[in-house]
Chains A and B, each alone.
Chain A
Amino acid sequence: DAGITQSPRYKITETGRQVTLMCHQTWSHSYMFWYRQDLGHGLRLIYYSAAADITDKGEVPDGYVVSRSKTENFPLTLESATRSQTSVYFCASSERRTGNYGYTFGSGTRLTVV
Chain B
Amino acid sequence: DAKTTQPTSMDCAEGRAANLPCNHSTISGNEYVYWYRQIHSQGPQYIIHGLKNNETNEMASLIITEDRKSSTLILPHATLRDTAVYYCIVIPNAGGTSYGKLTFGQGTILTVHP
B46–A48 contact, CB under 8 A? Answer: no
CA distance A52 to B55 in the complex (A): 33
**How distant is A95 from chain B, measured CB to nearest CB, in Å?**
10
- Knowing that A58-B101, A59-B103 touch, tell me 6 more A-B residue pairs with CB under 8 angstroms: A42-B107, A96-B100, A101-B32, A101-B102, A103-B36, A108-B41
Q: Which among A31, A42, A99, A108 is the interface contact of B93 at CB below 8 angstroms?
A: A99
A48–B51 contact, CB under 8 A? Answer: no
Q: Which 5 A-B pairs have the closest CB atoms?
A: A105-B43, A43-B104, A102-B46, A90-B43, A105-B44
Residue A92 CB within 8 A of the other chain: yes
Residues of A within 8 A of B105 (CB): 42
Task: Say what secondary structure dominates the interface of chain B.
Answer: loop
Q: Which among A48, A92, A94, A99 is the interface contact of B32 at CB below 8 angstroms?
A: A99
Residue A50 CB within 8 A of the other chain: yes
Residues of B within 8 A of A59 (CB): 103
Residue A33 CB within 8 A of the other chain: yes
Residue A78 CB within 8 A of the other chain: no
A94–B100 contact, CB under 8 A? Answer: yes
Given contacts A99-B93, A101-B49, contact A108 B43 (CB under 8 A): yes
Residues of B within 8 A of A96 (CB): 100
- What are 17 inter-chain pairs, A to B, with CB distance below 8 A? A31-B100, A42-B104, A42-B105, A45-B101, A48-B100, A50-B100, A90-B44, A92-B43, A92-B102, A94-B100, A99-B32, A99-B51, A99-B93, A101-B49, A103-B46, A107-B43, A108-B42
A interface residue numbers (CB < 8 A to B): 31, 33, 35, 42-45, 48, 50, 58-59, 90, 92, 94, 96, 98-108
Residues of B within 8 A of A33 (CB): 101-102
CA distance A33 to B101 in the complex (A): 8
Given contacts A99-B32, A101-B91, contact A48 B101 (CB under 8 A): yes
Residues of A within 8 A of B106 (CB): 42
B100–A101 contact, CB under 8 A? Answer: yes
Mask: chain B, 103-114; 1 = CB below 8 Å from A; 0 = not: 111110000000
